[in-house]
Amino acid sequence: MSGYLSIRNLTVRLKGGATILRDVSLNVGAGQVHGLVGESGAGKSMIGKAVLGTLPRALEVVSGQIVLDGTDLQTLPPKERRRRIGASAALIPQDPLTALNPSKRIGPQITRRLVDILGWPKVAAEARALELLEEVHIPDPVRVMRSYPHELSGGMRQRILIASAFAAEPKLIIADEPTTALDVTVQKQILRLISEMQARHDTALLFVTHDLGVVSKVCDTLSVLYAGKVVEEANMHRFFMRPIHPYSAALLAATPTYTNPTGSLTPVPQAVIDGVEREVAEHDMRAAP
């Protein structure tokens, strides 16, 4: 099976140290939304970084393929790889505060991608930026273009980052916990916006989050990650009705649902953790040379 983004047997390690990603495989079809779920430290963000080529220098890809639109990115020379990624993929980052340059106005930060990567003339880029700001429902886009990041609210900044991501009409967007830093009401608006934009531009979306509630509203399919290993992959409906892997079931049980207040919140039981740790250990033994 292959999609617009196809990751096959990706293994990433700390140079000379622990394994971060274990034989990860997943597919995101063109125009599909795939969720990547797991607790903090499971390695979800690292998958996105591996695709975009922004892994920290202490990590290295040991084996596996990252196939974007039919080409394995690993086989490309670095410059060509950066060009491909820049032209066809984009990131919606987690923290809108640090993702924007505080000393530059908003306008140039959006147009920079168009002008530098795609070689657009400045005037056309600015017109497009305004268009995008309207698409993400920012009131008074002209004024916002001239503003600095600190003059805007967190929700507005996230909208700008979303607009910025869609600017070059990428075929793939990686959203790395885009609403974790936001209020619950703002989160709803932003997630709606992301879904809207994704549908309109028919973009493939890899959505990283630790919140199962969010996943159920936004994604078509999902992968559950534990310690860098995919423990379950499913489509939405089947997953929430009948999660197969005990770890997935435990995660679901730990998510508070306000309609059931008397049920106690169960953290993932030790037995389940032991079970999945055993799986990981077995995988490591098989993988060791």
Q: How far apart are CA 47 and CA 21, in angstroms?
A: 8
Q: Shortest distance, CB of residue 256 to other proteins, whole angstroms? A: 4
Q: 221 with 240: CB under 8 angstroms?
A: no
Q: 218 with 33: CB under 8 angstroms?
A: yes
Q: Shortest distance, CB of residue 135 to other proteins, whole angstroms? A: 20
DSSP-derived secondary structure letter, 35: E
Alpha carbon of 161 to those of 11, 38, 129, 178, 251: distances in Å? Answer: 30, 24, 11, 10, 30
User: What angle in degrees, to the nearest 10, is found between the helix axes of 106-117 and 122-135?
Assistant: 120
Q: Shortest distance, CB of residue 214 to other proteins, whole angstroms? A: 5
Exposed / middle / buried, residue 21 (Cβ in 10 Å: 0-12, 13-18, 19+): buried
Where on the chain is the footprint of other proteins (CB under 8 A)? 14, 17-20, 39-43, 58, 154, 183-188, 191-192, 210-217, 226-228, 236-237, 240, 250-252, 254-259, 261, 264-268, 273, 277, 280
Q: Among residues 116 and 151, whose Cβ is nearest to other proteins?
A: 151
Q: Shortest distance, CB of residue 85 to other proteins, whole angstroms? A: 24
Q: Among residues 17 and 119, whose Cβ is nearest to other proteins?
A: 17
Q: Among residues 98 and 267, whose Cβ is nearest to other proteins?
A: 267
Q: Shortest distance, CB of residue 137 to other proteins, whole angstroms? A: 17
Q: Among residues 89 and 224, whose Cβ is nearest to other proteins?
A: 224
Burial 199-213 (b: 16+ CB within 10 A, else e): eeeebbbbbbbbebe
Q: Among residues 115 and 268, whose Cβ is nearest to other proteins?
A: 268
